[in-house]
Amino acid sequence: MKKRSVYIFVILTLIGPLVFSACNAGTAAETTPTATALPTAETPRETTVPVPNGFIRYISQSGDTIPAVAAHFGVSRPFVQSPQEISESEIIDPGTELWVRDALNETSSAEQLFPDGEVVYSPSAIDFDLQEFADSQGGYLSTYAELMTRGTTPATEILQQLALEHSYHPRILLALMELESGWVTRQPNSDEEDHYPFGYIKSDRGGIYQQTGWAIRRLHYGYYEWRAGRLKELTFMDGETLRLSPYLNAGSVAVMYFLAQIHSYPEWEQRVYGEDGITAVYEGLFGDPWQNVGEWDPLFPAGILQPEMNLPFPPNQRWAHTCGPHTAWGREGPPAALDFAPPSGNAGCDNSRRYATAAAAGLVVRDGKGVIVIDLDKDGYEQTGWVLVYMHIANTGRVEAGDYLNVDDNVGHPSCEGGSSSGTHVHIARKYNGEWVLAEGGLPFVLSGYQAYNGDDFCGGTLVLDDDVVHAFPWGNALTLIARQDSDPDYLYTPTPKK
Is 339 strand, coil or helix? Answer: strand
- 386-440 pLDDT, tens digit per residue, is 999 999 999 999 999 999 999 999 999 999 998 777 789 999 999 999 999 999 9
| CB atoms inside a 10 Å sphere around CB 162 | 21
- 201-251 pLDDT, tens digit per residue, is 988 889 999 999 999 999 999 999 999 999 999 999 999 999 999 999 999
Phi, psi of 327 (to 5 degrees): -55, 130
Question: DSSP label at 459?
Answer: T
The Cα 287–Cα 294 span in angstroms is: 12
Pairing between strand 151-154 and 106-107? unpaired
Domain ranges within the chain, ordered by starting residue: 116-296, 319-482
Burial class (CB in 10 A: 0-12, 13-18, 19+), 73: buried
- 95-147 pLDDT, tens digit per residue, is 999 999 988 889 999 999 999 999 999 999 999 999 999 999 999 999 999 99
- 329-388 pLDDT, tens digit per residue, is 988 889 999 999 998 756 678 899 999 999 999 999 999 999 999 999 999 999 999 999
The pLDDT assigned to 347 comes to: 63
Q: What is the DSSP string of 192-255?
A: HHHH-TTS---GGG-SHHHHHHHHHHHHHHHHHHHHHT---EEE-TTS-EEEPPTT--HHHHHH
Residue, of 30 and 282, whose pLDDT is higher: 282
The pLDDT assigned to 476 comes to: 82
Kindly report which listed range (3-12, 336-345, 373-382, 450-459) carries the lowest average pLDDT score: 3-12
319-482: in CATH 3.30.565.10:
no
The pLDDT assigned to 437 comes to: 98
- 142-166 pLDDT, tens digit per residue, is 999 999 988 999 999 999 999 999 9
Q: Which candidate, 140, 175, 179, places its Cα nearest to that of 263?
A: 179
- 154: part of which helix (H) or strand (E)? strand 151-154
The Cα 447–Cα 239 span in angstroms is: 44
The answer to whether 188 and 181 have CB atoms below 8 angstroms apart is yes
The Cα 169–Cα 286 span in angstroms is: 12
The answer to whether 447 and 390 have CB atoms below 8 angstroms apart is no
- pLDDT band of residue 89 (cuts 50, 70, 90) is confident
Identity of the amino acid at 416:
C
